[in-house]
Structure formats: C-alpha cells, structure tokens
Amino acid sequence: MSDFVSDFWNLYVIVIVTGSILACAVLLIVQGKATFTPGKTMGHVWDETLEEYNNPMPKWWSWLFTITVIFAFVYLALYPGLGNFKGMLGWTSVGQHTTEVAKMDATVKPLFDKYLAMDVKAVAGDKQANEMGKRLFLTYCMQCHGADARGAKGFPNLSDNDWLYGGEPEQIKETLNNGRMGVMPPHAQLGADTVKDLANFVRSLSGLPNDSVRAAKGKEAFSSAGCIGCHGPEGTGMHAVGAPNLTDKVWLYGSSEATITETINNGRQNKMPSWKEFLGEAKIHLLTAYVYSLSQGTK
C-alpha cells in the first residue's frame, strides 16, 4: 500500500475503520438488550394493512452480524487495512505476485533449460517449443510484425526468406538480443533528375517497368553516389548494415516510383527494439527458434 505523507491520514483511517466496526458491535449489543413486545402492534398502519410490530430481529441474522464484526477485527489484525499497519501475517499483493511468479518459473524452468541447451535448429523442429515460441511472439512481437509475422510497411516480413540482417540462427538471435537500427541516409542533394534516374534503375533491378535510358544513367549514379557501399554492387543488399536486397520482389516500404523516390530523397530510419534485458536468454532462444522455423521451406 502507499505510504501516507503525514500521520494524520494514517490515524484518520484507523479511527474511521475501528469506529465503524465498534459502532456496529454496540448496535448489536443494544439491540440484544432491548425489550420487545412480540405480537403487539405499535399502532402504525400503512397502505391500509401494513402494520408495525415490535419483534426482535431473527436470531440467525444477529449471529451473522456478530460473526461479521468478529471477522472484521480478525481480518484487520492479520492483513493490511488499518492505515499503515502491515498486519500480523505481513501479506502484500506484491509479495503474493512474486511468490506466484517464482512458483511458475520453477515449473517451467526445467523446460526452458532443456531447450536452452539444445541447438536453435533442433528447437525449431520441436512442436512444444514452437508453441511456446508462438505464444511469446503473440505477446511481444505481434503489434509490429503481425500475428502471422508477415509484417507491414516498415515492419519486415519474418515469414519469407528475405532478410535485412540475415536469417541464420546467430543473426536472428543478435537481432533479438541487441535490436537493430536501419539507417538509409537522405540523398535529395543529388537533385531531382538524378533521383529519378536512380528510382528507375532500382525498379529495373527487380524487373519492374522503367525508363531504360534513365535506368542506364541511374546505374552509374548508383555507384558514383555510393549506394553500392550499402546495397552492394549488384544491389543485393548487405546484412551488416541491414540494407535491403533491391533485386527481389520483397519491399519494406514499397516499389512504386513515388515511394522509391521518397526513400531516396528523405532516407529512412527504422528501429527494432532490443529484448535482452526484458526477455532474458531462455525466451530469446525460443523466439529465435520460432522465427527461424517460420521461413523454413519457403523461398
């Protein structure tokens, strides 16, 4: 529970809580001693037939009330409730949560340890491990990569075999552990004409319709402007910097001339968060295997 800044509120709560329960107890005692005149009406009549009698409360009802009052005192002695008093059992909701998590961890730890000791490729072939990986993926990764891991604009598809940073287990694990920061620098300084040449050349790389004269000029600009430094001389990309392969049909942002022009002019920046601290080794191992398994058997 939160701590009060001054003792006043602490006392205030204690006085109100004990006061109310005591008031109930007093009411019960007073009622128990009151004299009744069973069977005699008090002379008040409502709605023609509704008469007021002076009968005692039913015994079961008084007892239930008495037990409630006793329960309240016992509860407040054992559990927190009276101002800052922590209760004799020392129970806290945080403590209960920690114990439950520890219990859960103890049950699943042997399972996590078993998979952690196995090779990623072997884990990827294990049905139970894949189900665990999928659950983790749906909890932590779905919001960006989609439930089916097929991504969206700016968020890579993880279920194909096209990789910004590489699809070998070590590369996927490195991506998950430390995150990735993809930076495509802006190139508007090349001038609109050259950028248009480049866009046509980029489209030609994957066989999309293009202006061949511009594409030829764009090919030269692709090396002279330094694109090859990241995307490689053939435009097939580079895992070390996360530069996409421009020769395939997979697009992170889009293949239209307008989108490519926008990418070249303004550049792109993209961040995959790091998960090492948050998820820990065992969960990352399972997720690596799950992500690895998604693209197996695809082209």
| Residue whose CB is less far from ligand HEC, 82 or 228 | 228
CB atoms within 10 A of CB 86: 13
Size of the site for ligand HEC (CB under 6 A): 50
User: Does residue 215 touch ligand HEC according to CB under 6 A?
Assistant: no
Instruction: Tell me how far, at minimum, the Cβ of 166 lies from ligand HEC, in Å.
Output: 6
| Residue whose CB is less far from ligand HEC, 114 or 180 | 180
User: Does residue 10 touch ligand HEC according to CB under 6 A?
Assistant: no
User: Does residue 229 touch ligand HEC according to CB under 6 A?
Assistant: yes
Of 164, 205, 289, 294, which lies in the binding site for ligand HEC, with binding defined by CB under 6 A? Answer: 164
Q: Residue 229 and residue 274: Cα distance in Å, rounded? A: 26
Sequence-ordered list of residues with C-beta below 8 angstroms from that of 169, at least 6 positions apart, any chain = 119, 120, 121, 288, 289, 292
Instruction: Tell me how far, at minimum, the Cβ of 142 lies from ligand HEC, in Å.
Output: 8
Sequence-ordered list of residues with C-beta below 8 angstroms from that of 136, at least 6 positions apart, any chain = 279, 283, 286, 287, 290
User: Does residue 292 touch ligand HEC according to CB under 6 A?
Assistant: no
Instruction: Tell me how far, at minimum, the Cβ of 192 lies from ligand HEC, in Å.
Output: 13
Of 25, 72, 208, 230, which lies in the binding site for ligand HEC, with binding defined by CB under 6 A? Answer: 230
Q: Output the furthest CA–CA distance in the chain (Å, rounded).
A: 113
Assigned token pair, 71? 């329960």
Q: Residue 253 and residue 246: Cα distance in Å, rounded? A: 11
130-143 burial, b for 16+ CB within 10 Å, e for fewer? bebbbebbeebbee
User: Does residue 115 touch ligand HEC according to CB under 6 A?
Assistant: no
- Stretch 172-191: interaction string toward ligand HEC, x if CB under 6 A: x--xx---x-xxxx-x----
Q: Residue 164 and residue 96: Cα distance in Å, rounded? A: 44
CB 222 within 8 A of CB 228: yes
List residues near ligand HEC by CB under 6 A. Answer: 137, 140-141, 143-145, 154-156, 158, 163-165, 172, 175-176, 180, 182-185, 187, 198, 202, 225-227, 229-231, 241-244, 246, 251-254, 260, 263-264, 268, 270-273, 275, 287, 291
